């Protein structure tokens, strides 16, 4: 599928500012690589020492649709009451300390090595399953379908082959300009390269929503109504990448915009999930 080059303009970034902050951070990390949590010496690329990596709070069993932790991995009450516009959410870590502290360092202080570490945690948790499904689907279709599927037997009609793309959730241009980068773009680029899935800058943030923190879930959904728009043609299968899933309001709003542009199968990939909505 043709991906419009101009679509990157939907994710405006202050390249110079982001680049300078990156260079300063990389030089410091190269000269004196230390664990971001305990200050023990570690390798330049790892961000955390192996002891701190092992203590990160990994996802317990959770609702397959929204990744809310549930007993035995059952669907949560919210997803049973009201289906989400996406089929699945995959997260790697619980959004509690020290993940919340590390996430702030990644998002607000240009610590991209933490973003890379987050992606590696995500890949460790999901890549094996992803590759198994990918290979299974390739055997049947001779092409790529990255959407997780129930096992397909040869007698079952095969669903149309669709090329999946990774789409990062955009930040409002004001925030991207202040940071010099968009955190979800950094994560999406790393996952796209690691899994060889094309990345498309398909969503645009039309307006700046109010701060979500003080709002209840219903208000968050209203606050994000029509914030996103997908102005270019997109394939039917989309992997939506974000940093943290909290109330699902962002994933729901972004999925509605993608559906309006023709998406049929949407999966949300995020680094971390809050334990409660």
Task: Give the residue with the Cβ less far from Zn ion, 39 or 211.
Answer: 39
Task: Give the residue with the Cβ less far from Zn ion, 205 or 270.
Answer: 270
By CB under 5 A, tell whether 52 contacts Zn ion. Answer: yes
Of the candidates 49, 164, 251, 263, which one interacts with Zn ion according to CB under 5 A? 49
Q: For the segment 18-47, give every residue that binds Zn ion (CB under 5 A).
A: 35, 37-38, 40
- Distance of CA 202 to CAs 73, 208, 230, 269, Å? 32, 18, 6, 16
What is the rounded (10 degree) CA torsion for 27, 28, 29, 34? 170
Nearest-5° angle of CA 27, CA 55, CA 92?
85
Task: Give the residue with the Cβ less far from Zn ion, 67 or 205.
Answer: 67
Q: Under DSSP, is residue 51 helix (H, G, I), strand (E, B) or coil?
A: helix
By CB under 5 A, tell whether 80 contacts Zn ion. Answer: no
CB atoms within 10 A of CB 202: 30
By CB under 5 A, tell whether 59 contacts Zn ion. Answer: no
Strands (E), the chain: 88-90, 93-94, 164-168, 204-205, 228-229, 237-245, 265-273
By CB under 5 A, tell whether 114 contacts Zn ion. Answer: no
Total interface residues for Zn ion by CB under 5 A: 12
By CB under 5 A, tell whether 224 contacts Zn ion. Answer: no
Q: For residues 190 and 184, give the distance between their C-alpha atoms in angstroms, rounded to a whole number.
A: 10
Task: Give the residue with the Cβ less far from Zn ion, 35 or 169.
Answer: 35
Name the residues that contact Zn ion, by CB under 5 A. 35, 37-38, 40, 49, 52, 63, 65-66, 68, 76, 79
């Amino acid at each position: 599928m043709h991906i419009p080059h101009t679509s990157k303009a939907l994710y405006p970034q202050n390249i110079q500012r982001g680049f300078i902050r990156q260079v300063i951070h990389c030089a410091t990390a190269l000269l004196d690589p230390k664990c971001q949590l305990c200050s023990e010496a570690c390798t330049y690329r790892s961000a955390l020492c192996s002891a701190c990596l092992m203590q990160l709070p990994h996802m317990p069993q959770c609702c397959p649709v929204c990744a809310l932790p549930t007993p035995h991995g059952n669907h949560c009450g919210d997803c049973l009451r009201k289906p989400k516009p996406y089929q699945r959410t995959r997260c790697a870590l619980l959004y509690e300390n020290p993940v919340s502290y590390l996430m702030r360092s990644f998002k607000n202080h240009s610590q991209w090595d933490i973003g890379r570490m987050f992606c590696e945690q995500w890949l460790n948790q999901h890549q094996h399953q992803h590759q198994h499904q990918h290979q299974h689907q390739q055997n049947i279709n001779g092409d790529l379908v990255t959407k997780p599927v129930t096992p397909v037997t040869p007698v079952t009609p095969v669903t149309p082959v669709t090329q999946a793309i990774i789409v990062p959730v955009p930040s409002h241009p004001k925030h991207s300009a202040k940071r010099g980068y968009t955190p979800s773009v950094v994560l999406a680029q790393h996952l796209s390269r690691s899994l060889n899935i094309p990345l498309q800058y398909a969503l645009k943030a039309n307006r700046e929503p109010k701060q979500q923190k003080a709002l209840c879930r219903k208000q968050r959904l209203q606050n994000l109504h029509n914030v996103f728009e997908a102005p270019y043609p997109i394939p039917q299968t989309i992997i939506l990448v974000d940093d943290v899933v909290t109330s699902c309001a962002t994933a729901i709003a972004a999925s509605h915009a993608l559906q309006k542009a023709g998406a049929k199968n949407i999966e949300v990939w995020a680094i971390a999930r809050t334990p409660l909505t």
